[in-house]
């Protein structure tokens, strides 16, 4: 093969979806090794522009690709993702491969074990390309809080890719991986998917094992897929989902054959649009795109109604109280003693803790640790933390009531399209308010999906969010798939 043909072949591969590529590998049109080489070449070419990756594991990926290819040829690997290269968010542990959470404090941390979700991908024949950039410890909505520099939106590099799984979303959009996995604590998969014009899903809490996911807000965190289309999303979610006895919050589910849900059938389905999700602060272009998407579903036979969800305004304070409280405790283990960054000079144990953590953590992480420590401190626990838990329970109740009337809820993912780099960090409160449509889903433990549904006049993508009741991923996938088939293409 001469150089030109090779290049052409690579171009095709990076444009493919995961299920298309796996099919091509199965039929022998290409191989896992060729596919991996193609994606690595794309990373080599493009990543200086976008900074999607913290670590690219070139050698590991090629070795894995060879192994997987052999297993495909012997018929030991037959799944819909076998041989397909994937990018993994840098807060998910990979044995022997640097895992930093995009923080200085874990700049040298190489895990001794692999996260259960990644093990599941291995079983499905995935080839791990490397680890993607993120907001430090998943705290942020822009991937600008990373200690390794911001990721840029491949659709317009003056803009952020969203966050915290910004590296994963941008890598999918830029063809620097075929699909990626991220984590979603308050919208960290759905929002960057929306900003980058890809599909992202946060599964029902407990569907994907958290074992090996470096915790931010333990009661809210879920790992999920970022993909080029809904078909891939279903296949990746099916690979990720498992009951893991090592995670006490893991759920045993029978219905993980998610690809069976990919049918065009929304006739009679009741879809509710919360008025609360269309109110003040919502950008007009986003509103228009979302309502047009609802019209597409209506045309296909769904019953679409507006309703009042209520309590939405309390979701943000409740979320930032609970997530920060859990984070303040989860991040205590980063102390410079056992692994990670330790300050150079110190006088005694206490001073070492103080300096290592002050130097190792970035601004946003320190802000949330302080906020979390405050709401848990004696005398404030009841007023803040307990109250937030009560709000969480009420929000769950409000959703329960909504799902008594509707099969699913439709709305925007974020109030605006991707902001410019540098705009958000100057005003953290404004940044927190940007999570308004995504965080209630985490508080209630529900599944939510973000599907591209338009773009603004600058060409920045807009995402449509569909929210289901617990364990209703199939319904979400069915509606998202139907929309994808009939909505406008971008």
Task: Give catalytic residue positions.
Answer: 89, 164, 188
Smallest Cα–Cα separation from 143: which of 183, 203, 176?
183
Whose Cβ is closer to other proteins: residue 245's or residue 279's? 245
Can you give the binding site for other proteins, defined by CB under 8 A? Answer: 92-93, 99, 101, 106, 109, 111-113, 115, 210-215, 217-219, 245-249, 325-326, 328-329, 332-335, 337-339, 349, 353, 373, 376-378, 381, 385
The strands making up 408-412's β-sheet, listed across from edge to edge, are: 53-56, 127-132, 85-89, 179-184, 222-227, 199-202, 448-455, 461-468, 408-412, 270-274, 303-307
Backbone angles phi, psi at 137, to 5 degrees: 55, 25
Whose Cβ is closer to other proteins: residue 111's or residue 461's? 111
> In the bound complex, what is the minimum distance in angstroms from residue 187's beta carbon to other proteins?
19
> Please, are residues 156 and 460 in contact by the beta-carbon 8 Å criterion?
yes
Whose Cβ is closer to other proteins: residue 53's or residue 385's? 385
> Please, are residues 423 and 445 in contact by the beta-carbon 8 Å criterion?
no
Smallest Cα–Cα separation from 135: which of 365, 379, 404, 440?
365
Distance CA 118, CA 100 (A): 16
With vertex at residue 433, the alpha carbon angle to CA 431 and CA 439, rounded to the nearest 5 degrees, is: 110
Q: Determine the 3-state secondary structure of 465 from DSSP.
A: strand
Distance CA 359, CA 1 (A): 51
Whose Cβ is closer to other proteins: residue 78's or residue 108's? 108
* Strands, E assignment, 260-407: 270-274, 303-307
The residues near 63 (Cβ < 8 Å, ≥ 6 apart) are none
Whose Cβ is closer to other proteins: residue 51's or residue 99's? 99
Distance CA 408, CA 203 (A): 14
Whose Cβ is closer to other proteins: residue 111's or residue 166's? 111
> In the bound complex, what is the minimum distance in angstroms from residue 385's beta carbon to other proteins?
6
Classify the phi-psi angles of 394: left when phi > 0, otherwise alpha if psi is within -120 to 50, otherwise beta: alpha
Distance CA 247, CA 223 (A): 13
Whose Cβ is closer to other proteins: residue 143's or residue 356's? 356
Distance CA 480, CA 490 (A): 15
């Amino acid at each position: 093969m001469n150089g030109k043909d090779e290049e052409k072949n690579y171009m095709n591969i990076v444009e493919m979806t995961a299920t298309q590529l796996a099919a091509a590998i199965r039929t022998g049109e290409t191989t896992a090794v060729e596919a991996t080489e193609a994606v690595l070449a794309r990373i080599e070419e493009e990543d200086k522009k976008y900074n999607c990756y913290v670590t690219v594991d070139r050698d590991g990926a090629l070795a894995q690709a060879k192994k997987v290819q052999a297993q495909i040829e012997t018929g030991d690997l037959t799944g819909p993702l076998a041989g397909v290269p994937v990018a993994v968010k840098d807060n998910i542990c990979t044995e022997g491969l640097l895992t930093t959470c995009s923080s200085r404090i874990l700049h040298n941390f190489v895990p001794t074990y692999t996260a259960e979700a990644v093990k599941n991908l291995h079983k499905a024949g995935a080839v791990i390309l490397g680890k993607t950039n993120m907001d430090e410890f998943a705290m942020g909505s822009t991937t600008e809080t990373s200690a390794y520099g911001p990721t840029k939106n491949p659709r317009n590099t003056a803009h952020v890719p969203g966050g915290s799984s910004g590296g994963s979303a941008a890598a999918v959009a830029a063809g620097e991986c075929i699909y990626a996995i991220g984590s979603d604590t308050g919208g960290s998969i759905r929002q960057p998917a929306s900003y980058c014009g890809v599909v992202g899903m946060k599964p029902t809490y407990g569907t994907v094992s958290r074992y090996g996911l470096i915790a931010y807000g333990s009661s809210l965190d879920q790992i999920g897929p970022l993909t080029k289309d809904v078909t891939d999303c279903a296949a990746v979610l099916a690979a990720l989902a498992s009951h893991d006895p090592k995670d006490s919050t893991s759920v045993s589910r029978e219905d993980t054959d998610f690809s069976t849900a990919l049918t065009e059938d929304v006739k009679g389905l009741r879809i509710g649009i919360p008025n609360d999700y269309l109110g003040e602060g919502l950008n007009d272009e986003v509103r228009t795109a979302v309502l047009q998407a609802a019209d597409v579903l209506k045309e296909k036979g769904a019953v679409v109604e507006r309703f009042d969800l209520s309590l939405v305004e309390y979701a943000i304070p409740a979320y930032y109280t609970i997530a920060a409280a859990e984070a303040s405790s989860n991040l205590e283990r980063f102390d410079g003693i056992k692994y990670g960054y330790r300050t150079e000079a110190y006088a005694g144990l206490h001073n070492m803790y103080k300096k290592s953590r002050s130097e190792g953590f970035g601004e946003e992480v320190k802000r949330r640790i302080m906020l979390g420590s405050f709401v848990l401190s004696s005398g404030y626990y009841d007023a803040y933390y307990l109250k937030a838990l009560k709000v969480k329970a009420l929000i769950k109740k409000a959703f329960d009531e909504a799902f008594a009337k509707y099969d699913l809820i439709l709305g925007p993912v974020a109030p605006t399209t991707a902001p410019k780099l540098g705009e958000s960090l100057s005003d953290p409160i404004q940044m927190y308010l940007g999570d308004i449509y995504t965080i209630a889903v985490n508080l209630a433990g529900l599944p939510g999906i973000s599907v591209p549904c338009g773009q603004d006049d600058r060409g920045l993508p807009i995402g449509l969010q569909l929210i289901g009741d617990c364990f209703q991923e199939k319904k979400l996938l069915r509606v998202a798939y139907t929309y994808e088939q009939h909505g406008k293409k971008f």
